[in-house]
């Protein structure tokens, strides 16, 4: 039965690591919802994958906009009455060379709004679909910059704080949920996307492969944790 197929949703998936995550999840047999804040880019990306025979559909979702998230959750609940995997991938890196204490506070605000509140609001809105069946795997795409030991060196302050807060949210939420629902943070490594730049050594394809190791974590696996390349690392 079609509705028995496992379903996954990836945010910020019109390009970069998110796009690869969608492609590989669909190749693994998931019905995948590609979420993007840009309807044109998002629907074209989903169509490209659907044209190659993959079960991919598009939903419009800006993670900084509560109404947009609410609408997306309603659409997903109607079209895929289950959600097994949620990947919070959408992210921004806006610091440039700015220093934390002298930067325009709007940079910190916008970064937190996407990388932290966005993840919080999306988890809240989609959690009922997981709770209903007592099963779910949530992966929050973090960064080595979100580890506590990254706070001792200056640079990328807004981004670091946002990913540190995302990691804290991951731990707290993992401690709160019941059933076979697991919530992980993952560092994808330095990846050659628009954000990572062309010199990054890891391709989005390889990053997605390593992130998706967590999707197949069995019920005996840890409830939460911070991972890189499928192995636990320090928060
Ligand atoms: P990209 O810049 O290539 O892609 C970012 C994606 O996030 C785009 O699809 C973008 O959409 C989307 N996005 C941004 N803001 C929003 C929003 N408000 N609502 C919905 N979507 C949004 O980056 P990557 O693929 O490299 O990054 C993916 C994740 O990996 C991020 O969370 C990033 O922090 C993390 N990461 C990346 C590293 C790297 O080296 N690349 C290293 C460590 C972590 P749009 O096209 O509309 O802008």
Block mean pLDDT (10 aa), the chain, length 235: 80 98 98 98 98 98 98 92 96 96 98 98 97 96 98 97 98 96 98 98 98 94 96 97
Ligand 1, CB within 6 Å, residue ranges: 11-12, 14-18, 37-38, 41, 62-64, 89-92, 114, 141, 143, 188, 190-191, 193-196, 200
The whole-number pLDDT of residue 81 equals 83
Residue with tokens 């730049």: 197
**Distance from the alpha carbon of residue 75 to the mean position of ligand 1, in angstroms:** 23
CA atoms of 235 and 227, how far apart (whole Å):
9
Kindly give the distance from the C-alpha atom of residue 193 to the centroid of ligand 1, in angstroms, as a whole number.
9
pLDDT at 4: 79
**φ, ψ of residue 52 in degrees (nearest 5):** -90, 15
**Per-residue model confidence (pLDDT) at position 80:** 77
Would you state the pLDDT for residue 180? 96
pLDDT the model gives residue 1:
42
C-alpha to C-alpha distance for 80 and 70, rounded to whole angstroms: 15
Answer yes or no: are the C-beta atoms of 58 and 108 closer than 8 Å: no
Most informative mutation of 90, 115, 160, 190 for ligand 1 (most atoms within 8 A of CB):
90
**How far apart (Å, rounded) are the C-alpha atoms in residues 69 and 59?**
10
Stated pTM of the model: 0.98
Pairwise CA distance, residues 30 & 48, whole Å:
16
What is the best residue among 18, 41, 91 to mutate for testing ligand 1's pocket, by most ligand atoms within 8 Å of CB?
91
- pLDDT attached to residue 3: 56
Q: Which atom of ligand 1 is nearest to the CA of 145?
A: 43
Give all strands (DSSP E) within 61-103, no chain letters: 85-88
pLDDT at 79: 81
Task: Give the Å distance between the CA of 91 and the centre of ligand 1.
Answer: 4
Cα 173 to middle of ligand 1, angstroms: 22
Q: What backbone torsions phi and psi does residue 6 show, to the nearest 5 degrees?
A: -65, 145
> What's the pLDDT at 181?
97
Q: What is the pLDDT of residue 58?
A: 98
């Amino acid at each position: 039965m079609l509705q028995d197929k496992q379903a996954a949703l990836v945010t910020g998936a019109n390009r970069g690591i998110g796009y690869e995550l969608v492609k590989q999840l669909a190749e693994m047999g998931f019905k995948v919802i590609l979420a993007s804040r840009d309807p044109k880019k998002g629907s074209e990306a989903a169509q490209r994958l659907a044209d190659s025979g993959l079960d991919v559909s598009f939903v419009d979702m800006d993670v900084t906009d509560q109404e947009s998230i609410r609408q997306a959750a309603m659409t997903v609940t109607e079209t895929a009455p289950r959600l097994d995997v949620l990947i919070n991938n959408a992210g921004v890196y806006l610091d440039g060379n700015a220093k934390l204490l002298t930067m325009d506070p709007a940079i910190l605000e916008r970064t937190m709004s996407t990388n932290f509140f966005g993840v919080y609001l999306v988890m809240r809105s989609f959690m009922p679909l997981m709770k209903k069946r007592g099963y779910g795997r949530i992966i929050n795409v973090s960064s080595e910059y979100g580890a506590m030991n990254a706070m001792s060196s200056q640079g990328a302050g807004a981004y670091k704080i946002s990913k540190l807060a995302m990691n804290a949210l991951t731990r707290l939420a993992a401690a709160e949920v019941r059933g076979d629902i697991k919530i992980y943070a993952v560092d994808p490594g330095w990846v050659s996307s628009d954000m990572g730049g062309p010199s990054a050594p890891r391709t989005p394809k390889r990053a997605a492969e390593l992130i998706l190791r967590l999707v197949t974590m069995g019920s005996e696996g840890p409830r939460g944790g911070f991972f890189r390349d499928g192995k636990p690392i320090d928060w």
